[in-house]
Amino acid sequence: MSESTSAAAGSVETTSRPGLLGFLLDFHNRTILFRVGNWIVTTYALMSAVAFATGVAVGLWFDAMTGQDVMFKARYYLFVLTPLSLIGVRSFSIMLEWRELFKHPLATIIKPGYMLHGGILGGSVALGLLWHASGRDLLLLLDAGAFALLIGEAIARLGCYVYGCCWGRPTDSRFGVRYTSPHAKVIRCAPHLQGVKIHPAQLYAAVAYAAMFVAFYALLPYRRFDGMFSAFYLIGHSLVRLALERFRQDDRGRFLGILTHTQLYASIMIVLGVAILVARWNGGPLTPADVGIRFTEILGNGTLMLWIVGFGLAFGIPYGVHYKKVGQWLEKPSDEPAQAPGS
């Protein structure tokens, strides 16, 4: 992209339509929230922090309803689950670019890029360690994660929408959006899509996950066994991801040239979800949930909120704070770094 084209595209961000409606219609082109010297805080940083803080607050709410020690769980989520999840999302993202890793190892490792399935695996490992240490039913621990992930993902997809990752295919649909910000990932990775109407696949995902969260909330009094939410999440989340494949265009290659990575991970998750249902549907331990405990009780606990805010910042900063330009954490170590895939 030439400098004149970049300047023209950049002006779109600063001369957006006025008013609330204009803000909402142009939200996807507001990639940068503000700058502090050479550091750039993207809108994605804010949305990620809100998403993860909300998710962990909801998870702690589920823990409270099922009689668990929420103060201990808050500390565990921050100091154990957070690093393992971050290692997972980064590792899976890097593995997707193994060819670039051999060509430009440092450039590939230090640039932003995450993959959700890696975070799910990392978080599951953290909960598995807690299960081993505490003797609690592993599936009960995972249920809290499933309950939390849905609302967290719904909000996080709004972050993907404004960052321009996980973008959709070109469309003539009235719901299509046009990315014009030169900072948006879709334009950095696929310049030919600048100004082209594409599916807001991120919003489709946000609506689907929000609807699933509402369904889970409605099912709280009717849980049949510990692990029910885990099974429904593994199956439901995967079906959503598979359905979204037809709308997304951020191709990340295929496993052994056959399955897309989403199809591979989704298939594994569906098998695990079905296995849980088969194993426990006709009889399994059930920890009753006291649905009389309100979410406001979590939000109203000042000490607990400090841990929740810390959790949000622990994810928001690496997800959305960049150096000198959007798409890098440090000075570019190579002239040919590849772009990181979306999640």
Please report the pLDDT score of residue 343 as a whole number: 65
Name 168's bridge partners.
248
Enclosing domain of residue 206: 3-221+295-323
- Per the domain annotation, does 27 fall within a domain? yes
User: What is the band of 5 on the pLDDT scale with cuts at 50, 70, 90?
Assistant: very low
> Which is more confidently placed, 328 or 226?
226
User: What is the band of 341 on the pLDDT scale with cuts at 50, 70, 90?
Assistant: very low
Question: Under a CB-based contact definition with an 8 Å cutoff, are residues 206 and 193 in contact?
Answer: no
User: What is the band of 21 on the pLDDT scale with cuts at 50, 70, 90?
Assistant: confident
- Per the domain annotation, does 287 fall within a domain? no
- pLDDT, one tens digit per residue, over 147-188 is 999 999 999 999 999 999 999 999 999 999 999 999 999 999
- Per the domain annotation, does 20 fall within a domain? yes
pLDDT at position 265 over 70: yes
Highest mean pLDDT among 20-29, 132-141, 268-277: 268-277
Q: Poorest-confidence range of 113-117, 283-287, 312-316?
A: 113-117
Q: In sequence order, what DSSP letters do the residues of 172-186 get, joined into one string?
A: -STT-EE---TTSHH
Please report the pLDDT score of residue 164 as a whole number: 95
Name 73's bridge partners.
none
> Which is more confidently placed, 94 or 227?
227
> Treating both helix axes as pointing N-terminal to C-terminal, what angle do 228-244 and 138-163 enclose, rounded to 10 degrees?
30
Q: In sequence order, what DSSP letters do the residues of 268-305 get, joined into one string?
A: HHHHHHHHHHHHHTTS-------TTS-HHHHHT-HHHH
pLDDT at position 112 over 90: no
Rounded CA-CA distance 246/298 in Å is 39
C-alpha 313, offset from chain centre? 14
Please report the pLDDT score of residue 256 as a whole number: 64
- Per the domain annotation, does 122 fall within a domain? yes
Please report the pLDDT score of residue 258 as a whole number: 75
Closest CA to 314 of 87, 63, 11: 87
- pLDDT, one tens digit per residue, over 47-85 is 999 999 999 999 999 999 999 999 999 999 999 999 999
Average pLDDT, the chain: 88
- Per the domain annotation, does 303 fall within a domain? yes
Query: What three-state secondary structure class fits 342?
Result: coil
pLDDT at position 340 over 80: no
Please report the pLDDT score of residue 7 as a whole number: 36
pLDDT at position 88 over 80: yes
φ/ψ of residue 20, rounded to 5: -65, -45
pTM for this entry: 0.87
- Per the domain annotation, does 29 fall within a domain? yes
- Per the domain annotation, does 270 fall within a domain? no
- Per the domain annotation, does 261 fall within a domain? no
- Number of structural domains (the chain) is 1
> Which is more confidently placed, 192 or 96?
192
Please report the pLDDT score of residue 330 as a whole number: 77
Q: In sequence order, what DSSP letters do the residues of 142-170 get, joined into one string?
A: HHHHHHHHHHHHHHHHHHHHHHT-S-B-B
pLDDT at position 100 over 90: no
User: What is the band of 252 on the pLDDT scale with cuts at 50, 70, 90?
Assistant: low
